[in-house]
């Protein structure tokens, strides 16, 4: 390959102009003749028995086309991310405030609201179970009758933790607590269902996993999947909360019941009450080390509040446990993962998927350890950090781990870590300045043993233009851009010649969910494979036509090149010839994520094997009398393997850090007795531009050898992960007070112990 | 989506016609200017009206006369235009800072000074959607029988939410009120009542038409400052605000002083003692500490907004100190709010 013309260049996303000018159609923008307004009736209670549910009045109202309850669902009445335990419409007991009991479709919104009001529901409120620690006790009232509140309890052991702790010079034990956090995407969950000409159901869905949506919709309708089609329009963010299906199933059910198209969009309040939050966790954590600072053992017990239903609790806890030791060489690890049912909000996927909670703990603990040993936080991390070839406690061997220490060193250089004590530490009587770092790893891909594949269909037309069909949902993260770039690069054409059809199950092969920082890798490889097939045909034809050896030919900037020099034949000419002579410029590919087969003793289930490494360093200012914290500087060094679209990479880093600052300092869903107190972005406080410093970012490009297109690896999740512990460690540095609970609000930063005696 | 209920909207083109419209319509009529408070409140069914009388079609009601010795601002002058006015910024810098701290640029483009002065009081248990309020049972402010902030209280504890009110009170501003039958001028401070429900002394049929700020309160005559506490650097309402103005003679001896606290009562709370403590002396750290102590006792932060109430109480001491240090020209000892303290 010659030098990249498109890959690695800052590129506007296909559709960017439509998005910024308001032309792009999102679910709420879809208009169809006869479109009905759909609405769901949600539970006002955290836990109640339904004594009566009567929808007759609502059904008989003029303008109401369908009212459905659990009794009207033709197929299975459950979601199915993993376990089928969350009903689409509740049968007899509501178990959290987001449970839906009925759905209506009416001629307009006002009629739909009136129909909801006309549904008669009699609830008998029941005492709820809101404290996971109480819910775990033997004999505790069951959230789901007949099911143990402890929905998951797994122990993973590597090495001999007790022996390692017994032999250690230093042992540190702490308990950490994290909060419910909200994804706060721009576009609320939505779906538009319609009945197609053959009686099948088509659903426009704001989602992360169109093919899994199709399966769930078909299952609820008792229809073959072949009769269900899911189309993704433009999607305004997801961050994990649209990984599991939401209202798109109900949109399909309502369209089927009404035999008319139905629009179903959640309001912000409904959205915040119903979709999964980041799991609040209580983590007991023990670190054992030698007096030189070498880690000997990590022991953790992780308790996650799952809410009443399973959703992705198993998977999130699995990832939390997988990374609980951090990016460090430690052989003796014991982690107990416990998921507990309560009547609180449901919890599940959110950017990082269990890793942010783990990182807050292991990176906080690393600074506590450094303090205890009188070591520098940078030195202790370099001493213990993983490298290329390190075998993790999970059994996984790190193929490319240079970035762990490279990112630490680069970040330290950028903020002049060694000279940080020369910076004014007391800029005013009550102000203290501090510096803190955090370094993490996070896997990309679903994990060993899981169906982790993606396909694309690629076709070049006679005019040289290309259509690329992929089932990968683009929620704004930019997979469409990445795929178009890779196709354009390989086919020697401009970005404007590639049209990516947004995921549509009737046209696009399954690419799995857009999650786990996986699509750029797995769908990226699928694009390269398909593009290479077409490229091969073009070059073979060109060799025949020009009588020039095939290996001297290439495609670049719309032309054939010979030894790198432009030839008079264009890609268009070649495409036209191919069309006329009947050469197929059509390719399909199906690529599986490569999990290495040469590592015999991977003991951790579903382990990931490609790692995102990054380091962030925060400089904070703390007011000792008020407890207020300002993040003054934030340095971020991330490894992308290879940047395909640098704008997308930097965008992911900026966005992740903004979310991370919120997670660290302000964001918390406040839930009292199962009732969410702040289901609005007015009271759920995400940071604004004033609250985020000018970010200082650096991207390393250390090619990933495993399953990575052109060496590129996922970047989507890692940016949010180190931010909270970096800020926590900076606050510790500033005021000599370690914090063990998120978010680190002013109230929690206070009281500052003996502000006069702080060591700086 | 949260939608407005059906309403009759009228938009007269004179103040007299508007006053007549509000006087003659049924009981349930309301005034609106920029609508940044009323429309969301009506969508959430906090505030109800069958008829809404808009003031936005009245020509010149949005004029700003900042060159006049006594500054005059029309009620529908937008917050954005107020902070764009060079003369106003130079003469009343703390007022400009307060206005610039309100919400966000899009809302300042729509929101007006009259609307901000009359903005509804707020409470955690009230500023929620209708479903939310219904699920815990409605509170006193909304025909309910209980105040969720203080369950034994016979009185509503919703807090004043205007950022322009405390500073304009401190600067001795007056407002002109016009009804179909009368007109009057009222010191702004007298327009507020310390009650979360009936928080305005303005009658429902009176229209606030203009704000008058005396020349004796401009930067040639007094020094003023405004600090606002909230979690973020923009958007959020105050959880505490402190506004003060101090007049001194040629020897820096204080001749008059005035201070109001926002968001820690149902009305802007005057710290009347500031006058007795400071007048006759130069400003000093001791005097500032004394006033901070007094202000702490006046402030009544409740569990009705963001942050722990006890913390907001402590912050009153810190913010009063910060405001007075700013006025005295003493170096700041603590963290400044993240929004701009200077409006350029």
Domain spans of chain A, in order of start = 16-23+453-592, 31-126+184-274, 353-446+607-757
pLDDT tens-place string over residues A46-66:
999 999 999 999 999 999 999
pLDDT band at A759 (very low <50, low <70, confident <90, very high): low
Separation in Å, CA of B77 to nearest CA in chain A? 25
A601 touches chain B (CB under 8 A): no
Place of tokens 């891909």: A445
A688·B315 Cβ contact <8 A: no
pLDDT band at B68 (very low <50, low <70, confident <90, very high): very high
From the list A110, A679, A691, the residue facing B132 with the nearest CB is A679
- What architecture (CATH level 2) is domain A353-446+607-757? 2-Layer Sandwich (3.30)
Annotate A418-436 with three-state secondary structure: HHHHHCCCCCECCEEEEEE
- pLDDT score of A546 more than 70: yes
Strand A48-54 versus strand A120-125 pairing type: antiparallel
From the list B2, B124, B234, the residue facing A690 with the nearest CB is B234
pLDDT tens-place string over residues A477-526:
999 999 999 999 999 999 999 999 999 999 999 999 999 999 999 999 99
From the list B1, B2, B131, the residue facing A44 with the nearest CB is B131
- Please tell me which residue, A637 or A599, carries the higher pLDDT value: A637
A625·B318 Cβ contact <8 A: yes
Q: Which residues from B are below 8 Å from A750, CB to CB?
A: 311, 314
Residue in A closest to B310 by C-alpha: A747
B128·A666 Cβ contact <8 A: no
Average pLDDT over chain A reads: 96
From the list B129, B136, B232, the residue facing A691 with the nearest CB is B232
Q: Please give the structure tokens belonging to residue B195.
A: 């009650």
Distance separating alpha carbons of residues A553 and A530, to the nearest angstrom: 19
Q: What is the DSSP string of A196-241?
A: -TTS-EEEEE--S-HHHHHHHHHHHHT--GGGEEEE--B----TTT
pLDDT tens-place string over residues A240-255:
999 999 999 999 999 9
Residue in A closest to B313 by C-alpha: A626
Distance separating alpha carbons of residues A357 and A171, to the nearest angstrom: 21
> CA A366, A371, A375, A381: dihedral to nearest 10 degrees?
10
Can you list the domains of chain B with their CATH numbers?
A: 64-118+159-216 (3.30.465.10), 223-328 (3.30.390.50)
Q: Which residues from A are below 8 Å from B132, CB to CB?
A: 269, 679
Mean local confidence (pLDDT), A687-693: 93
- What architecture (CATH level 2) is domain A31-126+184-274? Alpha-Beta Complex (3.90)
Residue in B closest to A626 by C-alpha: B315
What pTM, to 2 d.p., does this model score?
A: 0.95
Confidence (pLDDT) at A339:
98
> Which of A747, A749, A752, A756 should be substituted to probe chain B, the one whose Cβ sees the most B Cβ atoms within 10 Å?
A747
Confidence (pLDDT) at B344:
66
From the list A44, A431, A685, the residue facing B231 with the nearest CB is A685
Residue in A closest to B330 by C-alpha: A428
Residue B140: closest CA among B128, B155, B122: B155
Mean local confidence (pLDDT), A298-313: 98
B333·A430 Cβ contact <8 A: yes
pLDDT tens-place string over residues A62-118:
999 999 999 999 999 999 999 999 999 999 999 999 999 999 999 999 999 999 999
Mean local confidence (pLDDT), A342-368: 98
Q: Find all residues with CB under 8 Å of B198, minimum gap 6, and list them.
A: none
From the list A628, A680, A685, the residue facing B335 with the nearest CB is A628
Q: Which residues from B are below 8 Å from A429, CB to CB?
A: 333-334
Distance separating alpha carbons of residues A288 and A169, to the nearest angstrom: 7
Confidence (pLDDT) at A597:
85
pLDDT tens-place string over residues B258-274:
999 999 999 999 999 99
Confidence (pLDDT) at A758:
58
Separation in Å, CA of B128 to nearest CA in chain A? 8
A687·B131 Cβ contact <8 A: no
From the list B3, B308, B333, the residue facing A428 with the nearest CB is B333
pLDDT band at A1 (very low <50, low <70, confident <90, very high): very low
Confidence (pLDDT) at B107:
97
Separation in Å, CA of B341 to nearest CA in chain A? 13
A683 touches chain B (CB under 8 A): yes
A623·B335 Cβ contact <8 A: yes
Cβ count near A32 (within 10 Å): 13
pLDDT tens-place string over residues A703-715:
999 999 999 999 9
Strand B29-32 versus strand B51-54 pairing type: parallel
Mean local confidence (pLDDT), A206-229: 98
> Which of A47, A628, A676, A678 should be substituted to probe chain B, the one whose Cβ sees the most B Cβ atoms within 10 Å?
A628
B311·A630 Cβ contact <8 A: no
Q: Which residues from B are below 8 Å from A434, CB to CB?
A: none
B131·A682 Cβ contact <8 A: no
Separation in Å, CA of A50 to nearest CA in chain B? 16
A97: left (phi > 0), else alpha (psi -120 to 50), else beta? Answer: alpha
* Fold match, A16-23+453-592 / A31-126+184-274: no
pLDDT tens-place string over residues B270-319:
999 999 999 999 999 999 999 999 999 999 999 999 999 999 999 999 99
Place of tokens 């102000």: A431
What's the Cα-to-Cα distance from A547 to each of A539, A562, A584, B204, B240, rounded to whole Å?
11, 11, 21, 91, 81
- What architecture (CATH level 2) is domain A16-23+453-592? 2-Layer Sandwich (3.30)
Distance separating alpha carbons of residues A502 and A470, to the nearest angstrom: 7
Residue in B closest to A117 by C-alpha: B131
Say if residues B92 and B218 touch (Cβ distance below 8 Å).
yes
Confidence (pLDDT) at A756:
56
A428 touches chain B (CB under 8 A): yes
- Cα B136–B138–B139 angle (5° rounding)? 110
Q: Which residues from A are below 8 Å from B307, CB to CB?
A: 745-747
Confidence (pLDDT) at A601:
86
B124·A683 Cβ contact <8 A: yes
- pLDDT score of B143 more than 90: no
In chain B, DSSP assigns E strands to: 8-10, 29-32, 51-54, 64-65, 71-74, 174-178, 183-187, 207-213, 222-229, 240-248, 254-262, 269-270
From the list A630, A683, A750, the residue facing B335 with the nearest CB is A630
Scanning A239-298 for CB atoms below 8 A from B yields 265, 267, 269
Mean local confidence (pLDDT), B98-106: 96
Average pLDDT over chain B reads: 95
Helix ranges, chain B (H): 15-24, 38-43, 79-84, 86-91, 93-100, 105-110, 113-117, 130-136, 164-170, 273-278, 285-298, 309-328
Is A186 exposed, middle or buried, given 0-12, 13-18 or 19+ CB atoms closer than 10 A?
Answer: exposed
pLDDT band at A2 (very low <50, low <70, confident <90, very high): very low
């Amino acid at each position: 390959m010659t030098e990249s013309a498109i890959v690695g260049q800052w590129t506007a996303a296909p559709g960017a102009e439509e998005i910024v000018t308001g032309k792009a159609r999102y679910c709420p923008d879809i208009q169809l003749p006869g479109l009905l307004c759909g609405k769901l009736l949600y539970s006002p209670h955290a836990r109640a028995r339904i004594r009566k549910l009567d929808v007759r009045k609502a059904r008989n109202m003029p303008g109401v086309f369908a009212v459905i309850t659990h009794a009207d669902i033709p197929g299975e009445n459950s979601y199915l991310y993993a376990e089928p335990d969350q009903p689409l419409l509740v049968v007899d007991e509501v178990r959290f405030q987001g449970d839906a009991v009925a759905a209506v479709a009416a001629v307009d919104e006002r009629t739909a609201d009136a129909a909801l009001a006309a549904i008669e529901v009699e609830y008998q409120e029941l005492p709820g179970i809101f404290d996971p620690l109480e819910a775990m006790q033997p004999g505790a009232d069951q959230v789901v009758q007949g099911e143990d509140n402890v929905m998951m309890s797994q122990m993973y052991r590597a090495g001999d933790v007790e022996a390692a702790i017994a032999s250690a010079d230093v042992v540190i034990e702490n308990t950490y607590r994290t909060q419910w956090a909200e994804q706060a995407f721009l576009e609320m969950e939505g779906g538009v269902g319609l009945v197609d000409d053959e009686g099948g159901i088509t659903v426009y869905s704001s989602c992360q996993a169109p093919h899994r949506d199709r399966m769930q919709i078909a299952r609820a309708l008792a229809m073959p999947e072949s009769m269900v089609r899911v189309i993704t329009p433009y999607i305004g963010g997801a961050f994990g909360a649209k990984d599991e299906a939401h209202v798109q199933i109900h949109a399909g059910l309502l369209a089927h019941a009404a035999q008319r198209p139905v629009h179903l969009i959640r309001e912000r309040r409904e959205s915040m009450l119903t979709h999964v939050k980041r799991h609040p966790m209580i983590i007991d954590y023990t670190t054992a080390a030698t007096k030189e600072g070498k880690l000997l053992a990590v022991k953790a017990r992780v308790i996650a509040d799952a809410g009443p239903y399973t959703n992705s609790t198993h998977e999130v806890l699995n990832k939390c446990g997988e990374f609980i030791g951090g990016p460090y060489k430690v052989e003796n690890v014991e982690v107990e993962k416990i998921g507990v049912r309560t009547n609180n909000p449901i919890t599940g996927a959110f950017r990082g998927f269990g890793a942010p909670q783990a990182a807050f703990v292991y990176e906080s603990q690393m600074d506590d350890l450094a303090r205890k040993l009188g070591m520098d936080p940078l030195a202790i991390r370099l001493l213990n950090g993983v490298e290329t070839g390190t075998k993790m406690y999970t059994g996984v061997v790190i193929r490319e781990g240079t970035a762990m220490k490279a990112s630490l060193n680069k970040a330290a250089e950028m903020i002049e870590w060694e000279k940080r004590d020369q910076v004014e530490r007391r800029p005013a009587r009550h102000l203290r300045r501090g510096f803190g770092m955090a370094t993490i790893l996070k896997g990309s891909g679903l994990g060993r043993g899981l169906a982790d594949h993606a396909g694309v269909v690629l076709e070049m037309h006679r005019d040289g233009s290309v259509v690329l069909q992929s089932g990968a949902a683009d929620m704004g993260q930019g997979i469409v851009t990445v795929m178009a770039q890779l196709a354009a690069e390989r086919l020697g054409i401009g970005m404007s010649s590639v049209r990516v059809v947004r995921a549509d199950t009737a046209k696009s092969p399954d690419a799995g969910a857009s999650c786990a920082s996986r699509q750029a890798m797995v769908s990226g490889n699928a694009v390269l494979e398909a593009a290479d097939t077409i490229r091969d045909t073009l070059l073979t034809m060109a060799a025949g036509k020009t009588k020039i050896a095939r290996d001297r030919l290439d495609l670049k900037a719309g032309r054939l090149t010979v030894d790198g020099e432009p030839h008079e034949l264009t890609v268009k000419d070649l495409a036209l010839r191919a069309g006329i002579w009947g050469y197929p410029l059509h390719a399909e590919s199906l690529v599986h994520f490569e999990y290495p087969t040469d590592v015999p003793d991977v003991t951790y289930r579903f382990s990931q094997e490609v790692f995102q490494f990054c380091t962030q360093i925060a400089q904070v200012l703390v007011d000792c009398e008020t407890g207020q914290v300002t993040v003054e500087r934030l340095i971020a060094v991330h490894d992308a393997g290879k940047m395909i679209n640098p704008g997308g990479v930097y965008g992911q880093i900026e966005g992740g850090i903004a979310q991370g600052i919120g997670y660290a300092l302000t964001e918390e869903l406040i839930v009292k007795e199962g009732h969410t107190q702040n289901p609005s972005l007015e009271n759920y406080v995400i940071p604004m531009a004033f609250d985020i410093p000018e970010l200082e970012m650096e991207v390393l490009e250390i090619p990933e050898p495993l399953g990575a297109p052109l060496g590129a690896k996922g970047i989507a999740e890692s940016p949010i992960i180190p931010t909270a512990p970096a800020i926590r460690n900076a606050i510790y540095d500033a005021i000599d007070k370690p914090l063990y609970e998120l978010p680190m609000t002013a109230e929690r930063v206070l009281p500052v112990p003996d502000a006069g005696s702080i060591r700086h | 989506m949260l939608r407005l209920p059906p309403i009759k909207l009228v938009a007269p083109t004179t103040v007299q016609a508007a006053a007549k419209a509000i006087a003659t319509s049924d009981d349930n009529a309301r005034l609106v200017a920029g609508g940044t408070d009323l429309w969301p409140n009506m969508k959430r069914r906090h505030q109800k009206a069958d008829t809404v009388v808009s003031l936005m079609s009245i020509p010149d009601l949005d004029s700003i006369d900042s060159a006049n010795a006594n500054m005059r601002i029309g009620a529908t002058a937008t917050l954005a235009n107020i902070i764009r006015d060079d003369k106003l910024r130079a003469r009343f810098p703390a007022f400009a800072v307060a206005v610039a701290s309100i919400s966000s640029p899009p809302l300042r483009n729509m929101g007006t000074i009259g609307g901000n002065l009359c903005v509804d009081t707020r409470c955690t248990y009230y500023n929620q959607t209708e479903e939310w309020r219904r699920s815990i049972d409605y509170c006193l402010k909304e025909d309910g029988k209980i105040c969720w902030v203080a369950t034994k209280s016979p009185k509503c504890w919703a807090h004043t939410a205007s950022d322009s009110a405390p500073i304009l009170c401190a600067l001795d501003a007056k407002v002109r009120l016009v009804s179909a039958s009368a007109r009057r001028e009222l010191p702004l401070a007298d327009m507020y009542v310390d009650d979360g429900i009936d928080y305005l002394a303005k009658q429902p049929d009176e229209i606030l038409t203009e704000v008058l700020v005396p020349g004796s309160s401009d930067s040639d005559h007094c020094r003023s400052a405004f600090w606002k506490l909230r979690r973020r650097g923009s958007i959020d309402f105050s959880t505490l605000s402190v506004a003060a103005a101090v007049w001194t003679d040629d020897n820096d001896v204080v001749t008059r002083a005035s201070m109001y606290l926002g968001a820690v009562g149902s009305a802007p709370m005057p710290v009347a003692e500031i006058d007795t403590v400071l007048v006759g002396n130069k400003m000093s750290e001791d005097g500032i500490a004394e006033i901070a102590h007094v202000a702490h006792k006046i402030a009544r932060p409740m569990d009705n907004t963001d942050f722990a109430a006890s913390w907001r109480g402590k912050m009153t001491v810190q913010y009063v100190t910060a405001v007075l240090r700013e006025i005295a020209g003493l170096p700041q000892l603590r963290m400044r709010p993240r929004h701009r303290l200077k409006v350029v």
